[in-house]
Amino acid sequence: MRRFIAAALSGCALLSLAFSAHVSAAWQPRIVPRSEWGADESLLLTTAEESKPAENQVPADEGNGIAERMKQCREAQKLYPQEFRAARTVTENAQGTLRWPQSYSPGIRLIVVHHTAQTLRNDPRSPLERMRALYLYHAKTLGWGDIGYHYIIDEDGTIYEGRAGGDNVIGGHAYCANVGTLGIALMGNFEIEEPSQIQILALQWLLKNLTDHYGLDARNTMKFHGESKEVIVGHRDVVSTACPGYFLAGVLDQIRRHVASGDTAARVIFPAPFNENYVDRTDQRRSLRLQTLQIQPTAPTLTVIGDSSLPVRPGGQVTVSLLFRAGGSSVQRHARIASVMRSSPRIGIWQLLDNENTRIRQEIFAPRLLHEGEVETIRLRIQVPEIPQTYSVDIGPVTLTLDAQGRRSRSPVSDPVPMTSTASDRINIPTPGAQRAEKQSSQSSLSSLSSLASPLIRIRLSTKETGAASCSAYDLVSLQKQYRGEVTCAVIAGKAALINEVDLEEYLAGMSEEPDTELYEKQRAFAIAARSYAVFYLDGGHRKFPGMPFDGDDSPARFQAYAGMAAEQANPQWVRAVRATAGQVLTMDGGIVKAAYFSSDDGRTRSPAENGWKDFPFEEVFASKADPWCKGLPMAGHGVGMSGCGAKGQAKEGKTAEQILQYYYPATKIGSLAK
């Protein structure tokens, strides 16, 4: 296997030539060796735990019926003993005794395709973080000493080297069917979501190279434990399980044909969803597996360091340190670890993240990746209102009591910006003569916007307004439960206006323009474009609503469609797309691009001039383009920039968000708001 990996890595450019007719040269299949993705090789070595034979290694998605499968396995071992014999076994390496001895099959007869059963649509982790977590789950939590799969493929088409040991090493991927087989797992839960086309292309490329390497013919069948099996099978074909999931199992015939013909760049057509009422029971199966192994995952803990009752001057600030201990599994960087509730909405809380004081609302976050049982200090700064009284803050199980007494405090300039602010601070009205033509002001340097690394945005909730003249007509307490951040009311031109002040990233997560019925790469593209559009108008020289105490509006006709927490809960995949692109904006010549987008066109986009838009910033980017993915559709929207139908069509072809954006906004770059 290592010889194959080395050849694949050195010959990657040659092996990917077959993709050139269908896929941009920007993407090539790649096998990432264990040393690069961060496998902890010390876990291979024996500890006080008892070594487990290879046949006991079974991933957690096998489902129930363990006793019945054990009975069937014993029968197969009696009838076909030669198919369970290893050619040799290695018990030690240069570093010591192996916890899981490396046994070797006499030859490879089947390649078994799996899914990891981890739903991606609501998983904020990067593929690399998920790969490391999967390895730790197999190697440490289950006590195997290594991962059971030979290869793992993430949703971006990256292939990771799995089980250590080289060619023919026996894995732990299919109960009673590990000898003579290779296991390839795709990240995702394909009972409820489709693999990405890039993932399928990488799988087909890998299958073609593995069948060639081991002398297999994808068109043939093999006798395996007395039954005729395809050379490329799904996990469910060798044991009773739902793996590799409905959508992946439904295209295995297409994948076999593509591998057999050598057309590894061919796309597949997924079956229609079979049951909208499907219930994902992955967590239940994992819990059952852990119980079977008598492994009880411990829960994370959070405690206060020092006294939980703190004196503070009215309007003053105090620092607090909490001790967080990860439980029985790793905690990803910036994962939400505890909810926050405060006795007054005017209490300000900041958490030290990435060496910056970050204003937090309803959760605190892990400052870095924490492995099982690891400890980290959470550093907070809390500011109380100017009214003397006793306040409280609940952070998970911890209750902090803040006794604000004495003379009012004046916080030093170096402290975090207080939550209270003057009217001019909140309204952000440009001074006379400061307004410039958008085309000129857009040339401002991206570095001048570095203060927007984690900005707040004020959105008018016009779709919630009734035209009432008084704020007393609205139940702000009820509205506050529907949106993150703060919901306030102000009378503007004789009418009560509802305004939601919220962190930019939380605002984007609550947008309702790209529901989870859309493809993930399309959602990622729109997340970057939507963020760019919103940030453009946060600059004082570009005000969408000059002189108003809000930056945008929740109506798509006036700004962007926004529905708050209801949209978040309904579209977890969209939230993942927002988090995956956090802080990313389109830039050109150091300025933010006002990334216009729309629903559909009739086969070509329109230029700003065709729409009568004068002095549009970076107008050359928005020249009319062919949009063949939309041909035959009606015009829906202004037609300038990126079309929804075109982005969807390109995502179906396997294009990444970055490729889609480059097509509709040529010559732009993806920059970051982070300092």
Domains and CATH numbers, the chain: 2-292 (3.40.80.10), 301-418 (2.60.40.10), 426-672 (no CATH)
CA–CA distance, 507 with 459 (Å, rounded to integer): 9
Q: Reply yes or no on whether the pLDDT at 11 is more than 70.
A: no
pLDDT-derived band at 144, boundaries 50, 70, 90: confident
3-state secondary structure of 15: helix
Looking at residue 583, what is its pLDDT? 87
Copy the structure tokens of residue 194.
């489709």
pLDDT-derived band at 508, boundaries 50, 70, 90: very high
Mean pLDDT of 466-491: 89
The beta strands (E) that lie in 157-262 are given as: 158-161, 181-186, 221-224, 227-230, 232-234
Q: Reply yes or no on whether the pLDDT at 444 is more than 70.
A: no
Looking at residue 275, what is its pLDDT? 54
Looking at residue 645, what is its pLDDT? 95
Nearest residue to 173 (alpha-carbon basis) of 182, 160, 186: 182
Mean pLDDT of 436-447: 40
Q: Reply yes or no on whether the pLDDT at 211 is more than 70.
A: yes
Q: Reply yes or no on whether the pLDDT at 510 is more than 90.
A: yes
Query: Residues 579, 573: contact at Cβ < 8 Å?
Result: no
- Helix and strand element counts for the chain (H, E): 18, 29
pLDDT-derived band at 507, boundaries 50, 70, 90: very high
Q: Tens of pLDDT along 151-170?
A: 999 988 899 999 999 999 99
Query: Residues 83, 155: contact at Cβ < 8 Å?
Result: no
Query: Residues 186, 120: contact at Cβ < 8 Å?
Result: no
The beta strands (E) that lie in 356-510 are given as: 356-359, 363-365, 375-383, 389-395, 398-404, 456-460, 486-492, 495-503
Looking at residue 288, what is its pLDDT? 55
Looking at residue 434, what is its pLDDT? 31
Tell which wins on pLDDT, 439 or 399.
Answer: 399
CA–CA distance, 130 with 633 (Å, rounded to integer): 39
Query: Residues 519, 571: contact at Cβ < 8 Å?
Result: no
Q: Tens of pLDDT along 356-376?
A: 788 888 899 998 887 776 777
Q: Tens of pLDDT along 64-106?
A: 455 667 777 888 888 888 888 889 999 888 888 898 999 999 9
Q: Reply yes or no on whether the pLDDT at 53 is more than 60.
A: no
Residue 138 phi/psi, 5° resolution?
Answer: -70, -50
pLDDT-derived band at 443, boundaries 50, 70, 90: very low
pLDDT-derived band at 121, boundaries 50, 70, 90: confident
Mean pLDDT of 17-23: 31
pLDDT-derived band at 590, boundaries 50, 70, 90: confident
CA–CA distance, 27 with 198 (Å, rounded to integer): 9
Looking at residue 28, what is its pLDDT? 58
Looking at residue 76, what is its pLDDT? 85
Mean pLDDT of 104-125: 88
Can the peptide bond before residue 311 be classed as cis, meaning omega within 30 degrees of 0?
no
pLDDT-derived band at 47, boundaries 50, 70, 90: low
Looking at residue 655, what is its pLDDT? 92
Mean pLDDT of 19-23: 32
CA distances in angstroms from 128 to 37, 131, 136, 154, 585, listed in the order given: 7, 5, 12, 8, 23
Nearest residue to 163 (alpha-carbon basis) of 232, 228, 108: 108
Looking at residue 61, what is its pLDDT? 44
Q: Reply yes or no on whether the pLDDT at 412 is more than 70.
A: no
Looking at residue 424, what is its pLDDT? 25
Looking at residue 608, what is its pLDDT? 94
Range from 9-13, 26-30, 559-563, 669-673 that averages highest in pLDDT: 559-563
Looking at residue 277, what is its pLDDT? 54
C-alpha angle 115-568-508 in degrees, rounded to nearest 5: 110
Looking at residue 30, what is its pLDDT? 79
Q: Which amino acid is at 213?
A: H
Copy the structure tokens of residue 566.
């209801």
Nearest residue to 454 (alpha-carbon basis) of 415, 514, 502: 502
Looking at residue 326, what is its pLDDT? 83
Sign of CA pseudo-dihedral 407, 411, 412, 413:
negative
Looking at residue 417, what is its pLDDT? 35
Query: Residues 568, 607: contact at Cβ < 8 Å?
Result: no
Looking at residue 297, what is its pLDDT? 55
Looking at residue 65, what is its pLDDT? 52
pLDDT-derived band at 197, boundaries 50, 70, 90: confident
Looking at residue 191, what is its pLDDT? 85
Least confident residue range of 252-256, 471-475, 539-543: 539-543
Q: Reply yes or no on whether the pLDDT at 278 is more than 60.
A: no
- In terms of Cβ atoms closer than 10 Å to its own Cβ (0-12, 13-18, 19+), residue 349 is buried
Q: Reply yes or no on whether the pLDDT at 115 is more than 60.
A: yes
Nearest residue to 206 (alpha-carbon basis) of 229, 183, 188: 183
Q: Reply yes or no on whether the pLDDT at 479 is more than 80.
A: yes
Query: Residues 129, 332: contact at Cβ < 8 Å?
Result: yes
CA–CA distance, 220 with 42 (Å, rounded to integer): 40
Q: Reply yes or no on whether the pLDDT at 672 is more than 70.
A: yes
Copy the structure tokens of residue 384.
């109380």
Least confident residue range of 18-22, 34-38, 120-124: 18-22
Least confident residue range of 126-130, 311-315, 329-333, 546-550: 329-333
Mean pLDDT of 626-649: 94
Q: Which amino acid is at 263?
A: D
Q: Which residues pair with 377 in a beta bridge?
A: 323
DSSP symbol at 528: H
Q: Reply yes or no on whether the pLDDT at 318 is more than 70.
A: yes
The CB density around residue 397, as the number of other CB atoms within 10 Å, is 10
Q: Reply yes or no on whether the pLDDT at 438 is more than 50.
A: no
Q: Reply yes or no on whether the pLDDT at 183 is more than 90.
A: yes
H or E element that contains 102: strand 96-104
In 27-171, where does DSSP find H-type helix? 34-37, 66-79, 127-136
The CB density around residue 526, as the number of other CB atoms within 10 Å, is 27
Q: Which residues pair with 671 in a beta bridge?
A: 585
Nearest residue to 419 (alpha-carbon basis) of 463, 485, 331, 467: 485
Q: Reply yes or no on whether the pLDDT at 429 is more than 60.
A: no
